[in-house]
Amino acid sequence: MSKKNHKHRVVAVCLGPSCRKKGGQALFDNLKVEIQRAHLSESVEVVETGCRGLCARGPVAHVYPDNITYCRLTPNDATRIVQGHLVSGHPMEDKVSHADRIANRSFRLFGDARFFGKQLRLTLRNCGVIDPENIDEYLAVRGYEALAKSLTGMKPEEVIQAMRDSGLRGRGGGGFPTGVKWNFAATQKADTKYIICNADEGDPGAFMDRSAIEGDPHTILEGMAIGGYAIGAHQGYIYIRAEYPLAVKRLEIALEQARAHNLIGKDILGSGFDFDIEVRLGAGAFVCGEETALIHSIEGERGTPRPRPPYPSVEGLWGKPTVINNVETWANVPVIILDGPEWFASIGTADSKGTKVFAVAGKVRNTGLVEVPMGMTLREIVYDVAGGVEGGRSLKAIQTGGPSGGCIPAQYLDTPVDYESLKGIGSIMGSGGLIVMDETTCMVDVAKYFLEFTMNESCGKCTPCREGTKRMYEILERITSGRGEEHDIELLEELGETVKFASLCGLGQTAPNPILSTIRHFRDEYVAHTRQKRCPAGVCTQLITYEINDACIGCGACARKCPVKCISGETRKLHTIDQSKCIKCGECFAACRFDAVTRS
């Protein structure tokens, strides 16, 4: 977000009768003054426009080419628009309006600031833009219009058809076509059906769903209500982690407001359709993101999965047909209804339509949420969107899909992100966690980290996952502490296959992925750990050796720091480390000012 983005800009101030009366003229005048004062007269032009139909929220101004509309402006806002937006590149979020139909879309394309430049914000369209605790703001950005359109102008079958035509696939990890899933549930004969929003978001390092809910809770409610209408359900549940108190609060507020506006509840908008939603809190179990486990959890049971079939769309919550979708999936629904499935399907790749939100974390400059069209390459995400690797180091691998995913080495950076391509290189799209790792990361350690996670989160119901993750973790621990044998790599592969193929649910079935993918792409690191008892990245402390080379001038700084006194040597002579006593604390390494202590 830098100044170099100022090309030619236009601030169009509405001076229609209503806006003018409410202070539009003063605003217009102030803007001119401020722009001059900021020496922007060359690059920014202030123009006057006629009524834009937003009189209720005037005075209104629009900034081109950022495509940002401000509303409820006061004459004093001129300074903020100029200094904040035009000079510093921070739009005045609190006054941005999204009822703008210039692009004829329900959402806004962000300006060309670099971080947003390659993004396409569909599901996050309102996040950070509207006040999530104020339904009026959501309504102003065509909120609940999709619901109204569905209820009044579309048959349930048509809604489902629209979902099928859009090509939307589940964003919770599996990538199952949403329209097909809805259709299963819709065609079941049952007196009761349910809708569930899966907001368990257990993947450590991912926070897409949290942000989506905190920033735009109504979209989720609207999507769910449309889903309910499509399949014939009258009750929905949002299953959300207890660790997200703010998201829970915003959902509760949104629900209350939506009920008050008759957008949720009985006889919605006079259509005769009833739909209500209840929020249920999780209690700290990653596996409860798995749909059957989640259902057990809502039912008040231990959150263990069960074999499928029957699938939830046939026998779900309390045995009734249930559609369960991810938060992001639900957030796409109103967009598809409003802007049409064809338009939605024009974004993305042949088999992966629309956008995907990623939580970019790890060793990158800009960590945070990004939403990009499907098919963008990993390279673009990391370098163009997230600003590249932190500290100028080189990228070693990208981990997607969290504990269920795999590590993608740098040579695959040009892989487009879509469901099939990522699967093809041993990872998965997953729910959107994207961790960037640089050369200081040990891939065996990463595998161990994820295995520790899955081992702790295994529900324990089925043998391969309960016992197998523990054994794989033990083997990795052996390897990272220098007690591993080369044969252990084969054991990991064999056990990995067993756990992958024989486990009951997705947790176990994917638990070996971090191991199998790192063995596949970084086998040499495993070999280094087992054969040479060496950690190339210098992460596995027990495998590090500190040695003193010829650069040593014999100052003794290292020996003084060594907590176990295992460095010896006469003053001004080469010092040596007694490897049998060294505890690998690294104090000597830090102490030497002559780069004579080496770590390997």
Partner 1 sequence: MSEKKNGQVNLIIDGVRVTVPEGTTIMHAAEVVGVKVPRLCYHPYLSTPGACRVCVVEVEGAPGLVASCAFPVAEGMNVRTTSPKLRQIRRNIVELQLDNHPEDCQTCERDGNCELQRLAYQLGVRERKFAGEKKNYKSDYKAPGVIRDPNKCILCGRCVRVCGEVQGIHTLTVAHRGFESVVVPTFERSLADSVCSNCGQCINVCPTAAFLENMNYDEVWQKLSDPHVTKVAQFAPSVRAAIGEAFGIPPGANMEGQTVAALRRLGFDYVFDTQFTADLTIMEEANELVNRIKAHGTSDLGPGKPLPMLTSCSSAWMKFVEQFYPEYIPNISSCKSPMSMQGALIKSYWAEKMGLGAQDIYSIAAMCCTAKKYEAAREELRDENGLPYVDAVITTRELAWMIKSMGLDFANLEPEEFDNPLGESTGAGAIFGATGGVMEAAVRTAHQMLTGEEMPDVNIEAVRGVTGAIKEASVEIAGITINVAVTHGMGNAIKLLEAVRRGEKNVHFIEIMGCPGGCIGGGGQPYAGQDAVPMDRELMAKRASALYGIDKAKEHRCSHQNEHIQKLYDDYLEKPGSHRAHKLLHTHYRQHFPHGVIPGRGIDGNQESCIRPSDPRFLELEAFINERKGRPHEDSELIPVLHKAQNLFGYIAEEAVEYIATKMQIPRSKIYGVATFYHYFSLSPRGQFRVSVCMGTACYVKGAGDLAEEFKRILGIDFGGITADSVFSLECARCIGACGQAPVLMVNDEVHTRVTVPQVQKIVDQYQEQIGKSGSRESETAAR
Ligand X SMILES: Cc1cc2nc3c(=O)[nH]c(=O)nc-3n(C[C@H](O)[C@H](O)[C@H](O)COP(=O)(O)O)c2cc1C
CB of 451 to ligand SF4, least distance (A): 13
Largest CA-CA distance found in the chain, in angstroms, rounded: 92
Q: What whole-number distance in Å separates Cα of residue 470 and Cα of residue 108?
A: 48
Q: Which of residues 200-239 bind ligand X (CB under 6 A)?
A: 200-202
Asked if 205 is part of the footprint of ligand FES (rule: CB under 6 A), the reply reads yes
Q: Which is nearer to ligand FES, 23 or 368 (CB)?
A: 368
- CB-side exposure of 587: number of CA atoms within 13 Å? 16
CB of 204 to ligand FES, least distance (A): 5
Q: Which is nearer to ligand X, 167 or 289 (CB)?
A: 289
Q: What whole-number distance in Å separates Cα of residue 465 and Cα of residue 458?
A: 7
Q: What whole-number distance in Å separates Cα of residue 16 and Cα of residue 25?
A: 10
CB of 307 to ligand SF4, least distance (A): 9
Asked if 368 is part of the footprint of ligand FES (rule: CB under 6 A), the reply reads no
Q: Decide if 543 contacts 549 (C-beta within 8 A).
A: no
DSSP assignment of 215-283: H-HHHHHHHHHHHHHHHT--EEEEEE-TT-HHHHHHHHHHHHHHHHTTSSBSSGGGSS--BEEEEEE--
Give the containing element (helix H, strand E) for 68.
strand 68-70
Q: Which is nearer to ligand X, 61 or 127 (CB)?
A: 127
Q: Which is nearer to ligand X, 156 or 175 (CB)?
A: 175
CB of 165 to partner 1, least distance (A): 26
Asked if 204 is part of the footprint of ligand FES (rule: CB under 6 A), the reply reads yes
Q: Which is nearer to ligand SF4, 12 or 465 (CB)?
A: 465
Q: Which does 518 bind (CB under 5 to 8 A by kind): ligand X, partner 1, ligand FES, none?
A: none
Q: Which is nearer to ligand SF4, 210 or 461 (CB)?
A: 461
Asked if 428 is part of the footprint of ligand X (rule: CB under 6 A), the reply reads no
**Two tokens, residue 413:** 């950076």
Selection from 441, 600, 484, 579 nearest residue 534 by Cα:
600
CB of 375 to ligand FES, least distance (A): 27
Q: 80 phi and psi, to 5 degrees?
A: -65, -40
Q: Is 23 exposed, middle or buried (0-12, 13-18, 19+ CB in 10 A)?
A: middle
Q: 528 phi and psi, to 5 degrees?
A: -60, -40
Q: What whole-number distance in Å separates Cα of residue 536 and Cα of residue 540?
A: 9
Peptide bond into 309 cis (omega under 30): yes
In this chain, which of 164, 234, 280, 561 binds partner 1, going by CB under 8 A? 280
Q: Which is nearer to partner 1, 270 or 300 (CB)?
A: 300
In this chain, which of 84, 174, 205, 265 binds ligand X, going by CB under 6 A? 174
CB of 508 to ligand SF4, least distance (A): 2
Asked if 312 is part of the footprint of ligand X (rule: CB under 6 A), the reply reads no
CB of 169 to ligand X, least distance (A): 7
Q: Decide if 237 contacts 323 (C-beta within 8 A).
A: no
From the list 259-267, 286-294, 420-428, 549-557, the region that binds ligand X by CB under 6 A is: 286-294
Asked if 211 is part of the footprint of partner 1 (rule: CB under 8 A), the reply reads yes
Q: Which is nearer to ligand X, 89 or 312 (CB)?
A: 312
In this chain, which of 166, 219, 326, 441 binds ligand X, going by CB under 6 A? 326
Q: Which residues bind ligand FES (CB under 6 A)?
A: 204-205
